[in-house]
Amino acid sequence: MIRETVTLSTASDFSGWRAWARKLLHDRVPASSIQWIVSPPPFLYAPSATRLLPNAPSTTNLPRALASLFPAVFVSEDPDRLHLLYLTLQTLRDGMSVPDQLIESLRRLATESRKRALDLRCQMPDARNPEWQILRTSHAAALIDSQADALSNLRPEPWVVIAPDRTLFWNAGEYRFGPGFTGDDLPPSELIETARSLASAGNKNAFWDGIAQVRLHPESENIAASPSLASLRAKAIDCQMCELCRPATRTVSGEGDPKARLLFIGEQPGDQEDLQGRPFVGPAGQLFDRALREAGGNRAETWVTNAVKHFKFIPRGNRRIHQKPDASDISACAPWLMTERRVLAPRVTVMLGVTAASAVLGRSVTVSRERSKHIPLEDGSIGLVTVHPSYLLRLPDEESKTREYTKFVNDLRMAISTLAG
């Protein structure tokens, strides 16, 4: 018998569901007596709005392993998902063990949602093209909403997601939500403007506060099973395999031609790379691009990445001062680099500096001893060691900079000729 009917504003209204679940658990309303429905209020897409939610103390201690499943289960398309989540909390509140069958149902629904989330992320273009990007998808609104943070981290540059049930608009600093549309007959410029006009619900609308954010929780085995560079990048945005993820803005994955046979590996993202979400775009990256052009190469035809995927720094006033990665940082990122190299399968790998060389070769490296030599790698490809371009920027005088820059260009030219040969 239905005793309580609870109305949520959207299928991604996790904060609303959580507030009502706490109250109903506190009032000892059984799961079988609750009807959960989704009915958007008329001001759901207003630029700003407030709402009142019940405020009750928590009566349940949710184990971390189960807590990690809840957002993904919440945005699943199973009609019984909210009942199953509440039933889990009710069981724990009563001091009982959650039945294996219920846990298995939660895991199955969470796995399905994470697969959909991964698929959506893989569709998001990277940040190489700063122009507006339009992502059309058929994914459900709740799934799209759950990926707002992840998609903005994957691509800091502007984009819009258009789906039958949701419009998600990101303008390099703020995302906004709107109703869905198709716009099949609209040119790109009109699509973007239509999305802009529809997506007006922003950070000041309380109905969009506390959306269920679905994370992928990548681990070594899951990383190694990645079938593509796009899926690797999509998973890496949720990486928490070391402490560097906490102060950094985002994971910075590699970019370039996924069919490239020439791979360049640097040390780690710097300040600008961390902010822009792209490798080698700061001063050292600009120097690298210039040297590669002089050597006869084209960055667009290569793949560029780093041994460590997060920016390691110490804050000093308004600045973030680069810190060299240590062995534990390199080890934590090893699954990402190893899988990236396996999927890319380059013919020539250029290690830019001691961190990259140590990460690839698995031993201590002195760049001056190993530089400009062909090094057979375990996967059958050829490795080359040279300096990191940031080394050139630190040289004290112009004569040294000119001499070392010429040697660096020659090393890049050697890599290109090795690929051609």
pLDDT in tens, 275-315: 999 999 999 999 999 999 999 999 999 999 999 999 999 99
* Predicted pLDDT at 398: 92
Residue 172 in this model has a pLDDT that exceeds 80: no
> Which residue type is seen at 237?
I
Strand blocks (E) in 14-75? 34-38
The residues facing 266 across adjacent strands are 306
pLDDT bucket at 203, cuts 50 / 70 / 90: confident
Helix (H) / strand (E) element for 228: namely none
For strands 303-306 and 262-266, give the pairing: parallel
Confidence at residue 402, expressed as pLDDT on a 0 to 100 scale: 95
pLDDT tops 90 at residue 178:
yes
- How confident is residue 319, by pLDDT bands cut at 50, 70 and 90? very high
Is residue 231 classed as helix, strand or coil in its secondary structure?
helix
How far is the C-alpha of 269 from the C-alpha of 306, rounded, in Å? 7
Helix (H) or strand (E) holding 265: strand 262-266
| Predicted pLDDT of residue 174 | 86
Question: Domain ranges in the chain?
Answer: 4-118, 122-208, 220-420
Name the residue with higher pLDDT: 408 or 184.
408
Residue 202: predicted pLDDT = 78
Mean pLDDT to the nearest integer, 339-356: 97
pLDDT digit string (tens) for 224-260?
999 999 999 999 999 999 999 999 999 999 999 999 9
pTM score: 0.94
- State the chain's mean pLDDT as an integer: 95
| pLDDT above 90 (res 201) | no
Q: Residue 264's beta-bridge partner residues?
A: 304, 350
What integer is the mean pLDDT of 355-370? Answer: 95
CB of 269 within 8 A of CB of 309?
yes
Is residue 420 scored above 90 in pLDDT? no
- Strands 167-170 and 175-178 turn out to be antiparallel
**Based on the number of CB atoms within 10 Å of its own CB, is 317 exposed (0-12), middle (13-18) or buried (19 or more)?**
exposed
Q: Which pLDDT belongs to residue 313? A: 94
> H or E segment at 167?
strand 167-170
Whole-number percent of the chain with pLDDT over 90: 92
Q: What CATH code would you report for 220-420? A: 3.40.470.10
Helix (H, G, I), strand (E, B) or coil at 85: helix
Q: Residue 1: pLDDT band by 50, 70, 90 thresholds?
A: low
**Amino acid, single-letter form, for residue 326:** D
User: In 155-299, which residue ranges form alpha helices assigned H by DSSP?
Assistant: 188-198, 220-224, 229-236, 271-276, 283-294
Mean pLDDT of 264-268: 98
